[in-house]
Amino acid sequence: MSTTITAIGTALSNSGISIIRISGKDSLNIVNKIFKSSSRLEPNHIIYGKIVNNGIFMDNVLVSYFKAPHSYTGEDICEINCHGGNEITKEILEIVLENGAVLAEPGEFSKRAFLNGKMDLSQAEAVINLINAKTKTESRIAANNLEGNLSKRIRSLREELIELMAKIEVSVDYPEYDYDEVEPTSVVPLLENKAREIQHIVDTYEQGKIIKDGVNVAILGKPNVGKSSLLNTLANYEKAIVTDIPGTTRDIVEETINLGNFVLNISDTAGIRDTDDIIEKIGVEKSLKILEEMDLVLYLINGEDGISKEDFEILSKIQNKGLKYITVINKMDKTRKEALNGILEELKNKGINEPVLISVQENSGIEELKDKIINMFDTSDLDYSHELIITNQRHKDLLKKSIGYINEAIDEVNKGQPIDIVSIYIKKASKTLGEIIGADVTQDVISKIFEKFCLGK
């Protein structure tokens, strides 16, 4: 890490302030070449002055200096706060580059913070989660993990396994010393307890995933039942084209909306029907294929037209896949009571969930539909202030893998294997937990994590 890196740390837009970050051993030297002020730059101070390039005034700026190791990256850092115009920000970045810095890769500032011991890998991942947070709940969970809640728990679990390994190795390698011999059966309760603790963390992932990634929702149904109109109503603007012509939606239209304390990723799909139109047929195929990625299906039925054999076939497919779904009867403003009773009776006979009755045209029943979705994916009972919640797939996979090794250790005990054989699996479990915080992790994994970051972070 001998190079000094730089990047724009704020979004390029017309705003009050932009920040150009510089990290590395030459940070201060580079800034002193282009920054002129009546005051000398001192660590942990912000100084007012101007950027001058080849004698030409560029901008009035504020510059802060943080001396290693007391900085975000653990290296010398300087930050130039200039006016927030796109051009002046890019010009100052170019000047910094011309004076010896190199352009940072995505996430390189945080990567250096990790490599210099300023944060562990789970905290680094919390940084990007905090930046990308779409709800207050997601932001709070990310902040808790940035503070080190996950790190502390993983370290505690790992240290207990390492301590157990140490006792086993001492009793095996140094039998001449007066240490209590570790009996294989005595380690089983401890291992079972650790497996339960880890499983408890794993169990938080499903709700954590909803908070982080949102709920993937497909609006499905035959043509002209009001799918696009429902999307527009939920989004509160005209996202999808709406006409009375069946087959208007040819491709999947996507929109993201906040609902309660999570996000809905809604996909409006092409109406499902037999068609000779090649483009529409492709859209129908996409509509059915997208089910594999969905957490929830809103299946719309046109109450005015009644329910058909096709509707039951599609609903049956949804049920067979084990998907969560809500049956929605639309156009209630035009549906006769006798027709509605007939639809309700048919749905009941087929064992299909009680439907939500709506009229997109009159905006009725929409709040009831939202409430039903919220109740299906409710995360309001999460005590994220005191309870550890994981939201990353990588963490979940490694935790489950560590449980697998612990269970293998228990199996070896039950088979009557020597304690040193059991120790092999305990060591694997400890190593796997270490990958979460970066104690045991490959360079490829590190690169993969930090490439998801934005420039300047």
As averages over each run of 10 residues, the pLDDT of the chain (457 residues) reads 90 88 96 95 95 95 96 96 93 96 93 93 91 86 91 94 82 57 79 95 90 88 84 69 40 74 81 45 54 86 86 84 89 88 87 88 92 83 74 95 96 87 91 91 75 70
The DSSP element (H or E) to which 187 belongs, if any, is helix 184-202
What tokens does 109 get?
Answer: 């500032």
Question: Is residue 344 within 8 Å of 352, Cβ to Cβ?
Answer: no
Distance CA 35, CA 59 (A): 10
The kind and range of the H/E element at 65 are: strand 56-66
Of 132, 131, 128, 134, residue with least CA distance to 110: 128
Which three-class secondary structure state does DSSP give residue 40?
coil
Two tokens, residue 397: 């996979």
Q: Can you tell me the distance from the alpha carbon of 71 to that of 56, in angstroms, rounded to the nearest whole number? A: 31
Q: Give the tokens for residue 97.
A: 């580059």
What is the spatial distance between Cα 160 and Cα 155, in angstroms, rounded to a whole number? 9
Whether the Cβ atoms of residue 325 and residue 318 lie closer than 8 Å to each other? yes
Return the pLDDT at 76. Answer: 97
CB 35 within 8 A of CB 46: no
Distances (CA, A) of 112 to 16, 115, 447, 451: 29, 5, 12, 13
pLDDT for residue 66? 97
The pLDDT value given to residue 102? 96
DSSP letter for 303, please. Answer: T
Domains and CATH numbers, the chain: 5-104 (3.30.1360.120), 123-204+388-450 (1.20.120.430), 212-376 (3.40.50.300)
pTM reported for the whole predicted model:
0.77
